[in-house]
A and B are shown apart, each in its own frame.
Chain A
Amino acid sequence: MTKLLEIRDLHKRYGATEVLKGVDCDMAKGDVVCVIGSSGSGKTTMLRCINMLEEFQGGTIRINDEEIGYETVGGMRRRKREREIARQRLLTGMAFQQFNLFPHLTALDNVTLGLIKVKKLSRAEARTIAERWLERVGLLARKDHYPGQLSGGQQQRVAIARAIAMNPLLMLFDEVTSALDPELVNEVLQVIKDLARDGMSMLIVTHEMRFAYEVANRVIFMNQGRIGEEGDPREMFVTPKTERLAEFLKTSTFR
């Protein structure tokens, strides 16, 4: 069976500082993987390399056996063309910490924009799909609201609908609850849990330990640009093998 995601020896530098020092990661279809670790450990950067929001200097990322972002021509590694990268970004969908909804478009239009401009669907088709997903995240009634008229939790749910409506193979979640008021966190996590139950493949960077414990079938602990430990959350959280993880879990809150 081909892997959904295969990351090999991923290296990423900002100038002289190396933030990813050789990361490997595999995911099969239907996997829900949570990435935990302290800030600056490189977990968000890894996520952003997968859809080429960040360039990376070494290693390969493959989705369904297709190499992402770079190709090797005559022994030279070079960035793929912008159009090709734009097409590859459709293999994944992403939800951001800051939602990044388009402020000048209604909730519905936020979701239909990509369907119309990228997938070239008709307005009516796009609308049908968008309404279905807005209903899934419980916001069909708010479809004509602008982002500024929605709460943070509602905005994040629209942002998730926007990403999923593009029908990606793999969903990337980048600390999607970190910018939310505590009382709004659960509605967003619930949406993600529902998606997990439906068999959506997801890679989730999060600080919510209880959520990771409940939803993930595998957890990756990142530490200083490397994978410190990975495995089943039920084992990892109870009996961490490394000092680092034990230390990290001690300072994290399980709510």
Chain B
Amino acid sequence: MELGPFLNELWIVRYILLEGLWRTVSISLLAIVAGSLLGVLVGLALTYGALPLRWLMRGYTDFIRGTPVLVLVLASYYMLSTIGLQLNPFEAGVLALAVFCSSHVGEMLRGALQAIPRGQTEAAKVIGLTFHQAFIYVLAPQAIRHVLPTWVNTAAEMVKASTLLSIIGVGELLLTTQEIISRTFMSLPFYFFAGALYFVVNYGIERFGKYVERRTTIPS
């Protein structure tokens, strides 16, 4: 494999690739922000919700987590337009990833909240805090510390899952790469290059997650 022609091609397509990378980043960002907001609601409902709501949310998270992300993406893309919700591939894809993200964040938050010893709530009650105060000053800070490193890694999951949007024709990094390959027939170097870009982004997120973990650990 000659490197020269590849570098030549790479130079020609540099802006197209950058655009793809940017779309990958924006898909991931939108999905993680929307998904996390939704996920916090899901997590709270799973932990403190009235029984019917809790069951409903359990059904929601179990169903989403039992379905492959690709199926979520395809279903969102094909189904929503059929039932009259007109979304373009980008929107349908982001929606699917956000839903996927929300079920994970919800589970994470529930796990973290329930891992806090009962004594904490009792101690908060004893010093006269209301439930809301106890949640804000005692429970939430502990849960957030616990959840934050894992949450950062969810961002890496989103970047990886964003590749699935190439299948419904969203021009993110992977689809852009495939289009370049179909024109240049240089599948080996371009797949390798795309893989390397993903690696760099995700490895960065992973390191950041480790950093956050070090910072949020409660000294003992």
A and B in direct contact, judged by CB atoms within 8 A: no
Using a CB–CB cutoff of 8 Å, the interface residues on chain A facing chain B are: none
